[in-house]
Structure 1
Amino acid sequence: MESKYNTSKSVNVYCPIAEHTVEVCLQYITNSERLLLEVPFEQYEAIVEAIRQRENGAKNLTQMIRKGAFTYAQIKHMTVARNIHGLMMDEEGRINFINDAISISAVIAYAQSKWNGASRKVAIGNGIRTGLAVLGETFAEEVIASQLYNHHDVTADFNLNPDIAGALKTGGVKMASKKMAATITKKAMIGSIATKKGMMLLNANTVTGALVTGRMSAEDIARTVKGKMSSQQLFKNVAKTAAIVAGGITGTIIGSAVGLTIPNVSTAIVSLIGGIIGLIIGSSSASKITKRVLDFFIRDDALQMLDIFNERLMILAEEYLLNKEELEQALLDFEALHNMSKTLKEMYLANNQQQFADNLIHRELTRIIKLRMYLHVPTNEEIYEILEPLAS
Structure 2
Amino acid sequence: MKIIDCINCNQKLNIPENKHQLKVKCPTCSAKWLWKNESIATITCISCHQVLRIPTDKGNLKVKCPQCNSSWNFETNKSQLGDLGSHSGTAAGAIGSAENFAENVILNAERGHGFAAEKANHLYDKMRLQDAKIVGHDNQKNGADRLVDGVYIQTKYCRTGSKCVSEAFDESGYRYWNTNGTPMQLEVPSDKYEDAIKAMEERIKKGQIKGINDPSKAREIVRKGSFTYEQARNIARFGTIESLTYDAVNGIKLSGTAMGISSAISFAVRIWSGEEWEVALKSACYDGLKTGGIAWISSIITAQAGRTGIEQSLRGTTDWIVKQVGHKASAWIANGVRSGNNIYGAAASNYVSKLLRGNIVTGAITTLVISSVDFARLFNGKISGAQAFKNVTKTAAGVAGGTGGWMGGAAAGAALGSAIPGIGTAIGGVVGGIIGGLAGGATATKATSLLLDEFIEDDANKMLEIVKSVFGELAFDYLLSQNEAEKVIEKFKKIDIPDFLREMHASKNRKEFTAQKFTPWIEEEVKKREKVKLPSEKAIAKYTGLLIEELTEAQPA
TM-score range, shorter chain: 0.3 to 0.5
- Point out the structure with the larger strand share: 2
- Point out the structure with the larger helix share: 1
Q: What TM-score does the superposition give when structure 1 sets the normalisation length?
A: 0.32
Q: What TM-score does the superposition give when structure 2 sets the normalisation length?
A: 0.24
Q: Which has the larger radius of gyration?
A: 2
Structure with more contact order per residue of length (Cα contacts < 8 Å, sep ≥ 6): 1
